[in-house]
Amino acid sequence: MMHGRLARRLTGSAMTGVTYGAAALAILPLAVILGMLVVKGAGSIDWNFFTKSAVPVGEMGGGFAHAIVGTLIIVGLACAVGVPVGVATGIFLAEFGGGRFRFTVRFIADVLNGVPSIVIGIFAWTWLVKPMGHFSALAGGVALGMILVPILARTTEEMVRLVPNSLREAALALGYPRWRTSLQVVVRTATAGIVTGCLVAVARVAGETAPLLFTALGNQFFSTRLKGAMAALPLQIYVYALGPYDEWHRQAWAGALVLIVLVLALSLIARAVVRAKRQLA
């Protein structure tokens, strides 16, 4: 029987090793992608990249200023649309007892979260672009906002539910009405968590390209008009990556580096907020 035991222990060690290998293999693409972005993109990032817009093909130089500003505007619009609705839905889910309606809303939030972003893009097109008759940054912002809502609803719900019930009971015992208890005690306690959820969600939609393809459309020129086509970082990267010119490819890598720094910074700040919060508690 000694042989059997040895074989079992060897199998165990081997499989433990396999899981180590799998974890290493899973992280490898992240390392490779980040490495490539720095190697290929960093060289093209200079002052012009942030201050100049695209130039006609054949001319050297030019930058991503229009795309960076466009992304900030469109994501800002998305927040204006999506954050209030998403957070309020999350508070509703966490604060108003069980029941079938709440279950349904939560289920729909999860299902909508899995709906491809391009489908949301089509929807924004039928509701905003088609009636208005032209592509617009507004439609792009609303499309991204619609993607924010289900994500925020679920993260906000989780965060609000983490608040200990004793806090709620204490406030009610002091004679606070329920709505003040909810807003001034419970939700306020969960603020750090909710902000974290917002940062993470914004990081995700900032990199979305598909819903912008036929809403904001993209623009080679600097524009801040909400009712017109507007450039965005991911759109510009997409166009330049598929283009035939080396100069475009070079700039696509640089744009991708800027985008990923933006996205990862938001994600990491969000994590830091959570960690600081945990240490205080």
Name the token pair of 264: 């990862």
Cα gap 15→62, rounded to integer Å: 53
Per CB under 8 A, which of residues 222..241 are in contact with another protein?
234, 237-238, 241
Contacts with 8 (C-beta within 8 Å, 6 or more apart), sequence order:
none
**Closer of 35 and 76 to another protein (Cβ):** 35
Name the token pair of 77: 């619009």
Q: Is 261 in the site for another protein (CB under 8 A)?
A: no
Q: Is 271 in the site for another protein (CB under 8 A)?
A: yes
Question: How many other C-beta atoms are found inside a 10 Å radius of the C-beta of residue 45?
Answer: 18
SS3 217: strand
Stretch of 49-57, 144-152, 187-195, 219-227 lying at the interface with another protein (CB under 8 A): 144-152
Per CB under 8 A, which of residues 17..76 are in contact with another protein?
18-23, 25-27, 29-30, 32-33, 36-37, 40
Tell me the closest approach of the beta carbon of residue 141 to another protein, in angstroms: 16
Tell me the closest approach of the beta carbon of residue 151 to another protein, in angstroms: 6
DSSP secondary structure letter of residue 125: I
Nearest to 234 by CA among 118, 57, 67, 72: 67
Per CB under 8 A, which of residues 181..200 are in contact with another protein?
182-183, 197, 200
**Closer of 51 and 188 to another protein (Cβ):** 188
* Angle CA 52–58–64, to nearest 5: 25
**Closer of 57 and 119 to another protein (Cβ):** 119
Q: Is 126 in the site for another protein (CB under 8 A)?
A: yes
Contacts with 113 (C-beta within 8 Å, 6 or more apart), sequence order:
150, 151, 154
x/- binding map, residues 74-113, to another protein, per CB under 8 A? ----------xx--xx-xxx-xx----xx-xxxxxxxxxx
